[in-house]
Amino acid sequence: MPYPIEDKLVIAVASSALFDLSKSDRVFREQGEKAYRKHQEANLDKPLRKGVAFPFVRRFLSINQKFPEQCPVEVVLLSRNSVITGKRVFHSIHHHGLDITRAAFLEGKSPYAYIPAFNASLFLSANAGDVSQAIDYGYAAGTVLPSKVVDDEADTELRIAFDFDGVIADDASERV
């Protein structure tokens, strides 16, 4: 029997933060929607490379291995991408061995409205506009900054660092 999502710590993540969709995005911006759909269909079986949030998500999901009876955490995808991209994303999820089964692919719409539907406690995205909208509506959200993706699969330690910009915590250390 599945563990109800209401009883889990859920993090929502944008598909473009979980996987590197920069090539697909470039096709969309330079050649348009029709070419983008053809590109995704042509590459449906080609797994996407790991994105900037991938190492965090993999380690976060590993908490369930420590508590297999409860499986206390879950990751859901909230994505502006199309359903065809969703097929490729789920193929990539399976290829990389992630236990993610829930998602919403919103065809260009902002995903913040789905945060409560999935009981997400945190929304992570590389799209600063989506993060700002989520925060404006009272949801916890954070921008995942672009960086080199380093995923040492032997390293299972989950490390989290927050930069509150003086909103929640005093920014005295930043001023120094």
Mean pLDDT score of the chain, rounded to an integer? 86
Whole-prediction pTM: 0.84
Q: What total of structural domains would you count in the chain?
A: 1
Q: How confident is the model at residue 5 (pLDDT cuts 50, 70, 90)?
A: confident
**In the block, residue with structure tokens 């005093």:** 170
In CATH, what number is assigned to the domain containing residue 21?
3.40.50
Q: What is the pLDDT of residue 1?
A: 42
Contact indicator for 140, 123 with CB cutoff of 8 Å: yes
Amino acid type, 1: M
**In the block, residue with structure tokens 């406690």:** 121
Q: What is the pLDDT of residue 170?
A: 60
Q: What is the pLDDT of residue 3?
A: 58
- Residue 117's domain comprises 5-175
Q: Using one digit for the tens of pLDDT, what is the confidence trace for 9-40?
A: 999 999 989 999 889 889 988 998 899 889 98
Q: Which of 151, 155, 163, 171 is catalytic?
A: 163
Q: How confident is the model at residue 95 (pLDDT cuts 50, 70, 90)?
A: very high
- The answer, yes or no, to whether residue 173 has pLDDT greater than 60, is no
Tallying the residues shown for the chain, one arrives at 176
Q: What is the pLDDT of residue 172?
A: 60
Distance set, CA 137 to CA 24, 123, 145, 153, 157 (Å): 30, 12, 22, 36, 32
Residue 7 among the catalytic residues: no
| Four-residue CA torsion sign, 45, 103, 111, 13 | negative
